[in-house]
Structure formats: structure tokens, C-alpha cells
Amino acid sequence: MPKALLSVYDKTGLIDLARGLTDLGWELLASGGTAKLIQQNGLKVTEVADYTGSPEILGGRVKTLHPAIHGGLLARNTPEDQAQLQSLGWEFIDLVAVNLYPFEATVAKEGVTLAEAIEQIDIGGVALIRAAAKNHDRVTLLCDPADYASVLLGLQNKTLDLDARRALALKGFRLTSHYDRAISRYLDGGEGETLELYPVQPLRYGENPHQSAVLLGFKPGETPLGGKVLQGKELSYNNLLDLDAAWRAVVSYKKTSIVIVKHLTPCGVASNDDQAEAYKAAYQCDTVSAYGGIIAANRPITAATAEAIKDLFVECIIAPGYEPEALEIFAKKKNARLVEMPDLEVEPKVEYRSVVRGLLRQQVDMGDPDQNGWKVVTVKQPTAEEMTAMKFAWIACQYVKSNSIVFAKGETTVGIGGGQPNRVDCVRIAAGHAGEKAKGAVMASDAFFPYPDSVEEAAKAGITAIVQPGGSIRDQESIDLCNKLGLSMVVTGYRHFRH
């Protein structure tokens, strides 16, 4: 009669598993609370302590750490191993269902003490997983309740083969590896750095056809950006980069907003209570660059917005949802990828970039830590309308490649310049895109002005107010020029480079 050992902290699906094994003629062993729950449901089970002849000790710290258990798991299917087990009065254990104390969930709680955390370090469970996984040639490991039903079906149909057991063993080794890293991170105060990455999907190629590429996620079973692809061709490497840039930008706004991105930088941003109007305004910022771009919305896409977009060639659209009528409209754009996001979060709160022989890690730039630190430094005070436009432009400029310059009127960008080594060139680019719309607009700069020439170019274009971080040794020269030309200037105290 085959024998199964059940020892689980998470009791999800336990009784269905126990009943299914019993119906197939298996004998059940179980520890402590697991055995008690099985008995309460009218199923026959032998407690581990009765099987081994050794009681649980140290308040439950030692339950399954016994040669009768680990010998039964690690014994190979050979006459020699079987004879040795029989001489000791023990038997093969053919299946183990085990999961671990919730260490990560415990330490994530506020105010958890070191002693409380240590009590959630599982010893016996990890040992069972490793023993069963090591001997997967004979033993089936279940460390995830999601696998119970398929394994029962495989046992019933006699289709649970070595490949299936090897896949379950791999899941076990991944679990214990993750568990140990979580413990080490906690004990070293979070100073240690470990990255666990899992393949999400292979990509046709990278930035260019001769470069191979794959999308990786931070957890098994992840989807692209954590979202759901509703239609369109497979997402490419470049699509994913642009989708990420557009999503980060659009969720930075509280009002209904649209961001259009091309080549990792916004080419149009607008906020408006009417989403379709927000799209039209963002599109008008740079109609040339919007062609073949990425559109992001921080509200579900309405039918009216879809109608406004339908004639523009776009690579991808990303939003937290779509009205049914919008999906019908987009269905005619078969190549356009639609991505639906589950929420408005940007996760994780850190970001990585590879460099030669290493990685850079930094916290995600979530905007100014002090939202009330703005200071008017010119004689002329900005109007209420200019302040509204500057607050809008200030967020937009955080997502444009440095040196970032954004011209805005109201809550709409009218000109964007960035990605040049010279800031004054970016002002000229923004002015060129804005044209006559620059007159009466405001300007945001992601970093300070090393010279007043950017202020001079902005004034020539028709800018009336400027927001910038300040901090240059030549700040006063820029302030003096604003005073001379009749512009207002606000400094924020925070820089927002995006290299």
C-alpha cells in the first residue's frame, strides 16, 4: 500500500487531497494539526509520532525530523535500501504534501520582533521538501496546493511520470531557495541583495533583430507588466519598454490623463475630465511623433476615446480597463496591442539597470518628496493659471529623457524637448514643436540652468513662467534675467534626471 506524508501549515485543499488519496488506496501519515484536521473529517490517518515512536518535542519544533521519516523518503527503489528499511521496521514514503511557515508574511507585519520572526523559520518542512525533491525518481513532492488536483488525476490515470515528478521537485527547490533568501534578507537588515527572476515569455528579438531577448518577472506565473494582453500581436522588447515608460508617466497624475510615448519619452501629455478631449490635446502636442506610438490612460478607455484614436496607427494602448464599445472599435485595429492593467501601482518601488559586470539599483522616482517646498524667487508672482500649468508640466518633465524641457498650457503639453547633452538645445526643440502655442505657456526643466541662456530662449518663444529645481551656482543670473524680462520663476528644490 503506497504511503503519503501530509504536513502542511496552509490547509488549503488538504481534505480533498487526503480523501482523494484514501480513495486510491493510500495510507496517510500526518503531523500535529494536519492529522487532527484529517481525523475531524472522518478519514483514517496515522500520526507521525505514533509511526516513529517519538513524540513531538520542543513545542512542536521537532515533529518530522526522524530517521523513520527521512529514511522512508530518501530510500532508493533498490533491494538493498528496501531491505535496510524493513530491518528497521520502516517503509517507503511515496508522496509528501508539505508547505512552510509564513516567514515572509510574518516579517512584513509592522512591529514584528526578532523572536517572533525566528519562530516562523521552518526547519522540518524545508527538510521534507529537499528530501522528497532529491529522491523524485521515486517520491512525489507537493509543496503547492494548486498542484493537488492534477497530481490526484495523474495518480488515478497512472500518468504521473518521472518528468512530472521532476517538475514538482524543481518547484520545491525553488521554494526552499526563495525561503532561505527571504530569511537571509531579513536577518541582514535588508542590506543583502538577491534577485529572483522567472521567465515570463521569450521575445522575437531585442531592440534589433540580431539581439535575442526574453521577458523576466519577479515571481512565477507573472504576465507582461503584471497586466493582461487583450488583443494584437505579441509584445516586443521595444513595446515593453515604451509601455513601461507610458504607464509610469500616466499613473503619476491624479486627474483623468493621457500620455503618448515614442521611443521611451512622452511626446504628448494632457489631463481633462473628458478622456477623449485629453487624448486629442495630447495628440496635438506632436502629431508626427504620435504616429506608431504608445498610448496610456489612467482610467478605463471610453468608447469616445476609442473613436478618437481609431484612425491613428498605434503600436499599443495600456489602461486599467476598456468599455465594451471601446473593445469593439479597437477590434478593427487587429495589430494594435491592448494591455489591461490590474491597478494603478508601479511595482516594485526599486529599479535596476545593468552595467558592465554589475547592476545599478535605485528607488523609483515618485516625484518631489516635499510637495509643498516650491518657492517663488522672482519679483513677478505666477498667476493661478500659471501655477496649475507648472504643476502639470513639472510631473510631465520627470518622464522625459534628460535634459528634459516641457512647455505646457493649462494641463496640456504643447512642446517637449529632451535627450540632448545641451539643455538649451532641448529648449529650442520644445519651442520648435510648440510654435505659436508657446506664447503664454509655462516651462518646466528637470534640472537647474547652468547658464541663463535657456531662460533667454524660453522668453523668445513666449514662455511667461518657469519651474525648475534650482541649486546652480549661477541661479541668480537666471533669476535676474527673469526679472529683467518680466517672467516668474519657481524653484522646487528637487531634481528629476531620467538618463
Which residues are tagged catalytic?
134, 263
DSSP string, 475-490: HHHHHHHHHHHT-EEE
DSSP string, 157-201: HT---HHHHHHHHHHHHHHHHHHHHHHHHHHTTT-S-----EEEE
Q: Please state, in angstroms and as integers, the Cα–Cα distance from residue 495 to each residue in 15, 402, 405, 491, following that order.
A: 57, 11, 13, 10
SS3 149: helix
CA 423 to chain centre: 33
Q: What are 406's strand-pairing partners? A: 416, 444
CB hemisphere CA count around 260 (13 angstroms): 30
Determine phi and psi for 466, rounding to 5 degrees.
-130, 140
| DSSP 8-state code for residue 57 | B
Residue 471, amino acid: G
Rounded CA Rg of the chain = 31
Choose among 417, 423, 483, 430: nearest CA to 453: 423
What is the torsion angle, in degrees rounded to the nearest 10, for the CA atoms of residue 387, residue 468, residue 246 and residue 203?
180
Given a contact cutoff of 8 angstroms between Cβ atoms, the answer to whether 446 and 403 are in contact is yes
Element (H, E) at 294: strand 293-297
Element (H, E) at 358: strand 358-363
Alpha-carbon gap, residue 399 to 401, rounded angstroms: 7
What is the torsion angle, in degrees rounded to the nearest 10, for the CA atoms of residue 481, residue 443, residue 428 and residue 472?
50
Q: Which is it for strands 488-491 and 375-376: parallel, antiparallel or unpaired?
A: antiparallel
Please, is 353 exposed, middle or buried when counting C-beta atoms within 10 Å of its C-beta (0-12, 13-18, 19+)? exposed
| DSSP 8-state code for residue 435 | G
Given a contact cutoff of 8 angstroms between Cβ atoms, the answer to whether 270 and 278 are in contact is yes
